[in-house]
Amino acid sequence: MELHEFQAKSLLSRYAIACPDGRVVVTADEAETAARDCGARALFVKAQVHAGDRAPAGGVIATASAAEARVATAQLLGRKLVTAQTGRRGRMVKRVLVEAGVAAVREFYVAMRVDALSGGLALLAGAGGTGIEARAAASPSAIETVPFSLAGARNAGDTTKLCEGLGLSGDAANRFRAVIDNIHRAFVDNDASLIEINPLALTGSGDFVALDAKLVLDDNALFRHPELAALRDDDDIDEVELEAQRHQINFVQMDGDIGVVVNGAGLGLATLDMIRTAGGSPANFMDIRTTAKSLDIAHGIGLVLDKPQIKVLLVNVFGGGMQPCDTIIEGLGIAFRRKGRRLPVVLRVTGNNEALARLRLANFDMPKIECSDMWQAVERAVAVARGRL
């Protein structure tokens, strides 16, 4: 679950990570009042949407007075902001952060994330500011990585070497290490999967201030943090994806013409990769949770069938103890009866209750191609979508 910038800064400030004075508002009148309360000569009005690269897209506006902050807020509210990270659909701006400007002597990029290879954590740091992704892609050595454990253990010389590489020494280096330790505490305490501060400004007085912050929480751990789960912004989630979540389905819209029905996130990602490898284009990611019943599954498949550009449905099912094959196939049959759409279906079904699933499948009036393995199913689905089969 991704937090908005103002939410991330509020949480990080509890861990002694300094942030600029600011207030989130939803009207131009509130923005003018907030700007006056800040009492700063330099002010920034920042669209609060779940996307980076806001500044190049006009989502961050520098202002010099409360009156200018009011005008900037009126320009942003109700506008669909399209950035490099939102896709063509963009994100609707429903709130903005009015924030005091901070004069930076230097800017740094600092992030902590889960390291999938080691199972531990990794700290990333380098020069900050806009275009960090492009700079890192052009020169991977521009970002230094320091391994961390959940307990915070690291090699004694790692952060010293990191500070030297960033040109920090003395009191500045000590303060930078304190920021790192505070990020680590916030990360572990809140079951985060990513904390990213860019830029982290070093001011003339020697303080470090988080000018922008991104914080992503592990959805699977939200039951331990009900106060954080309440921060989820349902307005910023695709309505179809939100509807799927309510029916025990993890669902992400995509732009292709091959509908995908899979149980298991890993299997789903592998299926998408194989479709791309075979020259196809998936229309969605779909992960049927083990808690989903046949009616939930029917609802999820119905969301796929509702997309007019779908030319074929690829069903890749591995039945386990909690989610047998026949439950998913029953949901498939219900969805087709409800929608009344005749669409070619390519199936690879194996695992628990496979025989029962095939028996039920035989009773459904749908054009289908049954396959023995994943690759065969993917190739057939791509061939159908391309009109070759």
pLDDT, tens digit (0-9, with 9 covering 90-100), for 125-172: 998 887 777 777 777 778 888 888 777 656 556 788 899 999 999 999
DSSP code for 193: E
Q: Strand pairing partners for 286?
A: 251
Spatial contact of 67 and 43, defined as CB atoms under 8 Å apart? no
| Catalytic pick among 99, 196, 330, 379 | 196
Q: What is the pTM of this model?
A: 0.70
Cα 341 from chain centroid? 32
Pair of tokens at residue 13? 């400030």
Tens-digit pLDDT profile for residues 335-389: 999 998 889 999 999 999 999 999 999 888 889 999 999 999 999 999 999 998 7
Pair of tokens at residue 241? 């994806």
Cα 28 from chain centroid? 29
Closest among 203, 256, 208 to 384, alpha carbons compared:
256
Contacts of 134 (CB under 8 A, 6+ apart): none
Closest among 241, 257, 258 to 249, alpha carbons compared:
241
Question: Is 15 an active-site residue?
Answer: no
Phi and psi at 236, nearest 5°, equal -95, 10
Average pLDDT over residues 78-93: 85
Phi and psi at 11, nearest 5°, equal -70, -45
> Which structural domains are found in the chain, ordered by start?
21-100 (3.30.1490.20), 106-229 (3.30.470.20), 239-385 (3.40.50.261)
Task: Concatenate the DSSP letters of all residues of 44-105 into one string.
Answer: EEEE--S-S-TTTTT-EEEESSHHHHHHHHHHHTT-EE--TTT-TT-EE---EEEEE----S
Tens-digit pLDDT profile for residues 31-66: 999 999 998 889 999 999 988 889 888 999 999 999
Helix (H, G, I), strand (E, B) or coil at 120: coil
Spatial contact of 99 and 72, defined as CB atoms under 8 Å apart? no
| Catalytic pick among 2, 5, 99, 109 | 109
Q: Predicted confidence band at 234 (pLDDT cuts at 50, 70, 90)?
A: low
Specify the length of the chain in residues: 389
